[in-house]
A and B are shown apart, each in its own frame.
Chain A
Amino acid sequence: EVQLVQSGGAVVQPGGSLRLSCTGSGFPFDDYAMHWVRQAPGKRLEWVCLISWDGRRAWYTDSVKGRFTISRDNSDASLYLQMNSLRTEDTAFYYCIKDLRKSNTGYLDFWGQGTLVTVSS
């Protein structure tokens, strides 16, 4: 059974930092690109970033470039999102997601349970 278990959500002050983690099981983690997507309360889903299966390439939405870093450790089947210089508009549920294929299809095949990040003073 495919599982993505997330952790790391918290309340943080504007300008602060936070690291989200996601551990995969039930599938060959290093065979798939991985994504983070967020959903602010009452808003539509927003794609945040993507990392290739081997961790060598990453892509970001403009609003997080230079502030967020996606990374992975295939030996641990883990995905990370380092979030720096957080803003109130980053408040959202963050989802860790397995891509449909190894080849970065952009289709979001299996979603973690989500973790809430609240940026507030």
Chain B
Amino acid sequence: EVVLTQSPATLSLSPGERATLSCRASQSVSTYLAWYQQKPGQSPRLLIYDTSNRATGIPARFSASGSGTDFTLTISSLEPEDFAVYYCQQRNDWPLFTFGPGTKLDLK
């Protein structure tokens, strides 16, 4: 099973700042990695798939990169609605899809 770890566990920032979230895989997942956003009381939402492709309707301030075992999600300038928990997920180890533990992005 591919184990995903995320850092930091919590990131405290202010609106307008840049956020950088990391996801590391225990073995290579090629570029088969996604990112999801979950706000309190809501279901997760797909942000990014295949490492760097934004899902439909996702603003351009969300970007992502990486390959193999190290991946990054960047939010260029935080909006108030971006404060949430972010999960990474791999689909390379078919069909044993796994998720990271999440990074909580909260308001400083």
Contact = CB atoms under 8 A, between A and B. Distances in A.
B95 A44 contact: no
A38 to B, nearest CB: 11
B66 interface: no
A107 B101 contact: no
Nearest to B56: A109
Contacts of A50: 95
B99 interface: yes
A110 B49 CA distance: 13
Given A44-B87, A45-B89, A107 B46 contact: yes
B55 interface: yes
A112 interface: yes
B94 A45 contact: no
A7 B89 CA distance: 26
6 contacts: A45-B44, A47-B97, A50-B95, A100-B46, A104-B95, A108-B36
A56 to B, nearest CB: 15
Contact of A44 (B32, B43, B46, B100): B100
Contacts of B43: 95, 111-114
B4 to A, nearest CB: 9
Interface residues of B, number: 22
Contacts of A112: 43
Contact of A106 (B91, B101, B102): B91
B21 to A, nearest CB: 15
A106 B91 CA distance: 6
Given A47-B99, A50-B95, 10 more contacts: A44-B100, A44-B102, A45-B89, A47-B98, A59-B95, A100-B55, A107-B34, A108-B34, A109-B55, A113-B43
A45 B88 CA distance: 10
A46 B49 contact: no
Contacts of B61: none
Given A44-B87, A100-B46, A100-B49, A106 B99 contact: no
A106 B46 contact: no
